[in-house]
Amino acid sequence: MSKFARFLPPIRIFRPKRDLLMRRMITISILASVLPIIFVGIFSYLYSSSTIKREVSESNIRLLSNASATIDQTLDRVQNNAMQLMLSSFFSSDLQELRDENYASFYSGIFQNLSAFQSANQEIRDIAMYTWADSYIQSPTFGGVRVDATDQIRQLYDELSGEVRFKWTTESYPFLPSPKPSEVTLVLRAPLQTGAAVGLIFIRIDDAQFRTMIEKFRTYEGERIFIFGADGTIIAHVGSEQPPEPLYKKVHAQAESEQSFIYEWDGVDYQVTPIKSAFNGWTYTDMIPVQQLNKQANGIAYITLAIVVFFLLLGVVISSLGTRKAYQPVASLLTLVRGGKESEGIQDEMGYVSRRWKELSEQAVQLEDLVNRQIPIIRESFALQLLQGHFSHYSEPQLAQVFQRYNIPAFRRHRVLLVAYDPSRDGEKRFTEKDKDLIVFTIKNMAMDTIAAEETGLDGIVIQLLDDQVAIWLMNDEGEESKWREGTEAAAELMRERFASYLKVPITIGLSEIADSVAALPQLYQEAVLAVRSRFLVGSGKLISSSDRSYPNIQYRYPVEIEAQIENSLQLGDLAEARRMLDEFSRALAPNVNRPELIRMTYQQLLTTLLRMAYLLGIQSDQLFAHDSNPYDEMIRHTTAQELHDWIDARLLTPIASSVQGSQSQAYEHVVDQVVRYLDEHYATDVSLDQCAQMCEISSHYLSKLFKKKMGISFIEYLTGIRVDQAKRYLTETDLPVNVISEKVGYQPKNFIRVFKKQVGVTPGQYRESAS
């Protein structure tokens, strides 16, 4: 007997009835262990294969995006350089007048400018200019060519008379030497900005540049990459010959969504991934043989198969041993019931069953009493399932029966309230995380007391939810709907005030609309949920009705432009502008009121951006937050959008702007100190504010503001003070004439006397006499 066989139960030695029970137990246990293993194995293989293909597709999109970006940058650089050429002094002048006045100088200027452009742009194949008046093409590469063919002249006339002043095209121009079927050419009218065009400039790109750029992005054997123009022409390709025509049609249809698809070519299946360039509308297409992709999936299949086989064998062994072990109590019970004899066993079994029946009858009475005491809990559980839509497939008669079973009145008017609490500073001091169940229990009981009170005139069921909230299902069948609406809203506000006053935490209650059908309860519950969620934007601690809010289906887009303006404002130290843009940022999130998680994640992304900018500005995190504080943990503690807005303003915008302003102030103080030293040394010269501003490389107006801010007086007042003080020293310590002293302190004699008298109150002569 093998080692494996001795683990199996000796089925054949049991009596037929017992053998049948054992076989059923073994079969069920083996199926229960084997089927999940097989299912998990198949699912793991399919999931891993799909994950690999998805990652490969995403990787291909990134590679194609890089290739597209590389080529787009090259074309954009050539285009920008061409624009600079057209804005140069030569091409911005009146070319027609220049040609008429000096024919040789005109063509010499064209040749020099085109030669310089071609030397500076290695990516281009050649550059040429066509002059309409002479029907002549000049190029530093192939010299001069006269265009005489009528169709070519017509083609050139169409380009000159078109409305587009410059364009990228794959059109072939036979009047240019060595034309190719689909070469890339930049065509510009000359001059570019003025009226009538004198000629055209043609810049042809070397297609070998494109092949070199996309070749480095190939990673798989047999991989093919194509670049299609906007009209379907082949710009460049690597890895094979020209693609078939149907391929471009399918690629063009899929390029906008960037979705991969399978395409068969020459008997080989390829995974095709297209993307479309936003710069010029070209479509970049990558084709990878599916066989290359399946190599990784096959390896996973073998590993998964080995693991499944191992666990199958292990499951069979464990199931067999477990069944034998599980059967032992059954066998012992049968032996005990039968008393060791078959006939006596039957009688003992019936007696055992009879005794057990009496015991179960007694237990049934006890359970019925227990159920009667548990009816409120059962009603609450039913109401919760009803609000969550678990009975949406029930008809009205079926629901009426369930209502009767749980002693729920079949009212025709319904409304749902949802009570939620938020921690506050006072609440955090009074309660801890462990007190959540206590808070919810308190809210539930106070709500039940409020509904039971006669003055409220309400009837309903209070339900404790699993997310630390309490739902209240209100029902009514009497009076006018408007009065009942006002009564429920007044009762809801009363409950909110009582809860908040007793618990010292902000309480928010969301109210649904009123419906006349039980089938509408799930919708009413969702309205109340959305109303409570909106407290993240409108603020907590209030009564929010679903009729006050609208929840449009918003296509979310992160406000990256506003984020960039916030960064720019902080880098300039402009706190007011940064705050204004933060307000714009908050307003951009307002349509997503029913998606608080999305709003929180958006603020977290803004926090990450501001932290990165602070790091780049050299601002340490200790300057913004406590040493052991995590800003993301601090952000989570805020429960409304306004709190997040104020927190970002206080903890990030204000300190970052202050730090930037402080750095600027130090630089400004250095500038003012430099100007003061210069005035102290050169007061006798013809010094001016413009001269000092030019020395400091700032504007004179800005220097005047900085000087006034630090010194407390203006630039000219400080300079005048120095000169007058020096003049006083000369008047008292020397016998120099007044006109000589005026020149020594930088004044003309006439101006010196006037300024001195204005500052001192007496003339220089009078001051000398009084001093002596």
Give the distance, in angstroms, between the CA of residue 377 and the centroid of all CA atoms in the same chain: 44
Is residue 182 situated within a structural domain? Answer: no
Domain boundary among 617, 632, 664: 664
User: What is the Cα–Cα distance from 506 to 423, expressed in whole angstroms?
Assistant: 7
Backbone phi and psi for residue 227, each to the nearest 5 degrees, phi listed first: -120, 115
Most confident of 21-30, 153-162, 428-437, 739-748: 739-748
What pLDDT was estimated at residue 296? 63
Residues 636 and 670 grouped into a single domain: no
CATH of the domain at 423: 3.30.70.270
pLDDT surpassing 70 at residue 450: yes
Residues 486 and 576 grouped into a single domain: no
Distances, alpha carbon 273 to alpha carbons 217, 493, 582, in Å: 13, 58, 40
Residue 405 structure tokens? 């079973």
User: What is the Cα–Cα distance from 90 to 117, expressed in whole angstroms?
Assistant: 13
Higher pLDDT, 724 or 305: 724
Residue 229 structure tokens? 């123009």
Per-residue pLDDT band for 416 (boundaries 50, 70, 90) equals: very high
What pLDDT was estimated at residue 284? 83
- Residue 137, C-beta contacts closer than 8 angstroms, at least 6 positions apart: 128, 129, 130, 131, 144, 145, 146, 147, 175, 176
What pLDDT was estimated at residue 107? 87
User: What is the Cα–Cα distance from 269 to 368, expressed in whole angstroms?
Assistant: 69
Number of domains in the chain: 3
Residues 613 and 526 grouped into a single domain: no
What pLDDT was estimated at residue 155? 83
User: What is the Cα–Cα distance from 686 to 610, expressed in whole angstroms?
Assistant: 49
CATH of the domain at 749: 1.10.10.60
What pLDDT was estimated at residue 256? 66
Q: Which domain holds residue 740?
A: 665-771
Is residue 748 situated within a structural domain? Answer: yes
Whether omega before 191 lies within 30 degrees of 0, making that bond cis, reads: yes
Residues 533 and 637 grouped into a single domain: no
Domain boundary among 645, 664, 683: 664
Strands 413-421 and 459-464: unpaired
Neighbours of 240 (CB within 10 A): 14
pLDDT surpassing 50 at residue 477: yes
The share of the chain scoring above pLDDT 90, in percent, equals 3
pLDDT one-digit tens code per residue, 35-49: 787 877 787 767 776
User: What is the Cα–Cα distance from 101 to 739, expressed in whole angstroms?
Assistant: 61
What pLDDT was estimated at residue 1? 43
Residues 572 and 678 grouped into a single domain: no
Is residue 58 situated within a structural domain? Answer: no
pLDDT surpassing 70 at residue 428: no
pLDDT one-digit tens code per residue, 363-406: 778 787 776 777 778 888 888 888 888 787 787 788 888 888 87
pLDDT one-digit tens code per residue, 539-550: 778 888 877 654
Distances, alpha carbon 588 to alpha carbons 554, 559, 563, 592, 594, in Å: 11, 7, 11, 9, 14
Strands, E assignment, 132-223: 136-139, 143-146, 166-169, 185-190, 199-205
Residues 683 and 590 grouped into a single domain: no
Most confident of 279-288, 339-348, 492-501, 572-581: 492-501
Domain boundary among 643, 664, 685: 664
User: What is the Cα–Cα distance from 224 to 305, expressed in whole angstroms?
Assistant: 33
What pLDDT was estimated at residue 99? 84
Among 495, 611, 632, 629, residue whose Cα is nearest residue 563: 611
Is residue 750 situated within a structural domain? Answer: yes
Mean pLDDT across 52-72 = 78
507 dihedral zone (left: phi>0; alpha: psi -120 to 50; beta): beta
| Matching residue, tokens 């678990």 | 390
For 464, the enclosing helix (H) or strand (E) is strand 459-464
Mean pLDDT check: name the lowest of 405-414, 428-437, 468-477.
Answer: 428-437
Per-residue pLDDT band for 619 (boundaries 50, 70, 90) equals: confident
Q: Give the three-state DSSP class for 273.
A: strand
Rg of the chain over all Cα atoms, to the nearest angstrom:
44
Backbone phi and psi for residue 727, each to the nearest 5 degrees, phi listed first: -65, -40
Contact at 8 Å (CB) between 67 and 284?
Answer: yes
Is residue 719 situated within a structural domain? Answer: yes
Question: Using DSSP, how many helices (H) and how many strands (E) does the chain show?
Answer: 28, 16
What pLDDT was estimated at residue 770? 86
Residue 346 structure tokens? 């039957």
pLDDT surpassing 70 at residue 4: no
Per-residue pLDDT band for 177 (boundaries 50, 70, 90) equals: confident
Is residue 289 situated within a structural domain? Answer: no
Residues 529 and 611 grouped into a single domain: no
pLDDT surpassing 50 at residue 476: yes
pLDDT one-digit tens code per residue, 591-613: 776 677 778 888 888 888 888 88
User: What is the Cα–Cα distance from 134 to 96, expressed in whole angstroms?
Assistant: 11
User: What pTM, to 2 d.p., does this model score?
Assistant: 0.38
User: What is the Cα–Cα distance from 612 to 498, expressed in whole angstroms?
Assistant: 45
Is residue 46 situated within a structural domain? Answer: no
What pLDDT was estimated at residue 306? 80
Mean pLDDT check: name the lowest of 262-266, 456-460, 549-553, 761-765.
Answer: 549-553
Mean pLDDT across 506-510 = 88
Convert 717-760 into a string of H (helix), E (strand) and C (coil).
Answer: HHHHHHHHHHHHHHHHHCCCCHHHHHHHCCCCHHHHHHHHHHHH
User: What is the Cα–Cα distance from 13 to 10, expressed in whole angstroms?
Assistant: 6
Residues 404 and 519 grouped into a single domain: yes
Mean pLDDT across 84-97 = 83
Residues 508 and 534 grouped into a single domain: yes
The DSSP output letter for 533 is H
Residues 509 and 586 grouped into a single domain: no
What pLDDT was estimated at residue 354? 57
Residues 532 and 420 grouped into a single domain: yes
pLDDT surpassing 60 at residue 342: no
What pLDDT was estimated at residue 12? 45
- How high does pLDDT run on average in the chain? 79
pLDDT surpassing 50 at residue 293: yes
pLDDT one-digit tens code per residue, 198-247: 888 988 887 777 777 777 778 777 788 888 877 777 777 787 667 777 77
Residues 533 and 570 grouped into a single domain: no
Is residue 266 situated within a structural domain? Answer: no
What pLDDT was estimated at residue 3? 46
User: What is the Cα–Cα distance from 130 to 114, expressed in whole angstroms?
Assistant: 12
